[in-house]
């Protein structure tokens, strides 16, 4: 059964994003952001105290960043307009909405108390508007520091995490650093990166939701179905950018573009931080192949032909870069 109320909110969420992206003034962008906020908050609400807490925190942070954004717009049109101050405030507000480091601590706490469906929306769709607005008002000397912050904090803070939602959030912070640097060089490449990241994340979140996973130690006992375990392992490694999986393809092109733009030091730093993220992905996956088999009561697997077909297709999608590389070589 389709919930008509949720369907209406989803449609308004999509329309508000399209309205903001197609706006030709900062004030209309602010209006689209507010419609997007007021639409996403009811979707977060469920009869759960943790979702309610996340909803309140998200509302407070978004209202605070929207206030800074609106104040910077008023400064822009006033006679006291100071270009550097206005640019700094505007970018701070956008980065706070994105959950960019070092403003990412609210982002981790909110996602830790949400269900997987809302996690996917917050990690993917809700980033489209701020990233495009950041492209309109980009300042590379200022963004250089935030790119380094995102890749560093997203990698280092994920090492001591056991909650899968927090790991996915910190991984998103690391990928955000890559998306911001790509956004300066090529918008088409950013779209390819974002699309591939969203596809891999959608596959993983579908699997985590289907099996009711929330902690890393639950993956240690995930041996009931080899196809399911193999799919989780392949997609986690693909999200980390391990060649020759699909997640490596956008990073490969990004590294080439950074070399062409003489960003060698930043390129080396970002690659090293990506290796650290790949380490805690491997830490989640090696137990699937090494440890013994256990049957657990908390797992909720839906065994039917439909889900088996989806799992098989997802595995082929994640390994699709092998075919792309073969076509490039020919």
Give the DSSP per-residue string, 281-297: HHHHHHHHHHS-----S
What are the phi and psi torsion angles at 254 (to 5°)?
-65, -40
- CA geometry: angle 38, 44, 49, nearest 5 deg: 125
pLDDT at 194: 92
pLDDT at 1: 47
CA–CA distance from 232 to each of 3, 207, 236, 311, 324 (Å)? Answer: 29, 7, 6, 9, 22
pLDDT at 315: 63
Q: What is the DSSP letter of 120?
A: H
pLDDT at 314: 63
Tens digit of each residue's pLDDT, the chain (330 residues) = 457 888 888 899 999 999 998 888 888 999 999 999 999 988 887 545 567 788 888 999 999 999 999 888 888 777 666 667 778 888 888 999 888 888 888 888 888 888 888 889 999 999 999 998 888 877 777 788 888 999 999 888 888 888 889 899 999 999 999 999 888 888 888 988 999 899 889 888 888 887 788 887 777 666 656 677 777 888 888 888 887 788 888 888 889 888 988 888 888 999 999 899 988 888 887 766 665 555 555 555 544 555 556 666 666 666 665 555 555 544
pLDDT at 269: 92
pLDDT at 47: 47
- Domain spans, the chain: 99-329
Contacts of 62 (CB under 8 A, 6+ apart): 37, 97
Tell me the helices (H) and strands (E) count for the chain, helix number first.
16, 0
Sign of the CA dihedral running 226, 228, 230, 233 = negative
pLDDT at 330: 46
The burial of 214, by beta-carbon neighbours within 10 Å (0-12 exposed, 13-18 middle, 19 or more buried), is given as middle
């Amino acid at each position: 059964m389709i919930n008509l109320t949720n369907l209406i909110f989803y449609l308004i969420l999509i329309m508000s994003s399209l309205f903001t992206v197609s706006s030709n003034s900062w004030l209309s962008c602010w209006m689209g952001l507010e419609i997007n906020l007021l639409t996403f908050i009811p979707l977060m609400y469920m009869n759960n105290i943790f979702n309610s807490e996340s909803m309140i925190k998200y509302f407070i942070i978004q209202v605070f960043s929207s206030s800074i954004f609106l104040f910077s717009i008023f400064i822009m049109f006033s006679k006291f307009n100071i270009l550097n101050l206005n640019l700094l405030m505007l970018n701070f507000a956008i980065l706070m909405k994105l959950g960019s480091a070092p403003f990412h601590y609210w982002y981790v706490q909110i996602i830790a108390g949400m269900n997987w469906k809302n996690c996917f929306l917050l990690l993917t769709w809700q980033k489209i508007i701020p990233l495009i607005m950041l492209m309109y008002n980009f300042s590379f000397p200022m963004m250089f520091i935030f790119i380094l912050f995102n890749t560093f904090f997203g990698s280092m803070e994920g090492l001591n995490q056991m909650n899968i939602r927090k790991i996915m959030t910190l991984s998103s912070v690391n990928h955000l650093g890559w998306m911001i640097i790509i956004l300066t060089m090529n918008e088409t490449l950013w779209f390819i990166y974002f699309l591939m990241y969203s596809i891999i994340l959608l596959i993983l979140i579908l699997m985590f939701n289907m099996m009711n996973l929330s902690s890393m130690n639950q993956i240690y006992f995930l041996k009931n179905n080899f196809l399911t375990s193999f799919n989780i392992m392949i997609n986690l490694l693909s999200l980390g950018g391990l060649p020759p999986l699909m997640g490596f393809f956008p990073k490969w092109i990004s590294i080439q573009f950074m070399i062409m733009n003489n960003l060698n030091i930043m390129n080396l730093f970002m690659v090293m931080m990506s290796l650290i993220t790949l380490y805690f992905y491997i830490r989640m996956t090696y137990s699937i192949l090494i440890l013994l088999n256990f049957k657990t009561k908390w797992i909720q697997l839906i065994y039917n032909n439909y889900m088996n077909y989806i799992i098989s297709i997802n595995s082929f999608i994640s390994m699709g870069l092998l075919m792309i590389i073969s076509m490039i070589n020919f």
